[in-house]
Amino acid sequence: MPPENDSSYYNPPMHARGCVHWKYRNRTEMLRLDSSAMELSTVTLPPGVLMHMPWSTGETEGGEHCLVCVVHTTCCHSGRIACMDSQ
C-alpha cells in the first residue's frame, strides 16, 4: 500500500478516448498520457474547477474529450430536495 502522502494513491487514473488522465494535487492542471501516440502532456483545467471538487474526464456523444465537475450536489431527504455546495 502506498504511503499516505502519495498523491497518486488518492488520485486514481481516469480513462477517456484512449487517454489516461491523472489529477495533480494542488494544481490547475491534469496529466494526460495519449496511449495511441505515447505522448505525455498537461491539460489546463477550466476556470473554477478546483482540486477538492469531484470531477472526472469523459467524452461527449460527438467523441470529444470533456470534463465533468460536480459544483452542487442534490440530496433528497423526507421528500424534500436541498442543494448544498460540494466541499
**Could you report the per-residue pLDDT of 47-85, keeping only the tens digit for each?**
777 666 777 788 888 878 777 776 666 554 443 433 333
> Per-residue confidence at 27, pLDDT binned at 50, 70, 90?
confident
Name the domain count of the chain: 1
**What grid cell was written down for 59?**
467524452
Residue 72 has a pLDDT of: 61
Q: Is 44 domain-assigned?
A: yes
CA angle 36, 42, 43 (to 5 degrees): 95
Q: Is 2 domain-assigned?
A: no
Q: Is 61 domain-assigned?
A: yes
Q: Is 1 domain-assigned?
A: no
Q: Model's pTM, two decimal places?
A: 0.58
Taking 80 as the threshold, does the pLDDT of residue 35 lie above it?
Answer: yes
**What grid cell was written down for 58?**
469523459
Residue ranges in the chain assigned as alpha helix (H): 7-10
Q: Which domain holds residue 62?
A: 7-85
Q: Is 34 domain-assigned?
A: yes
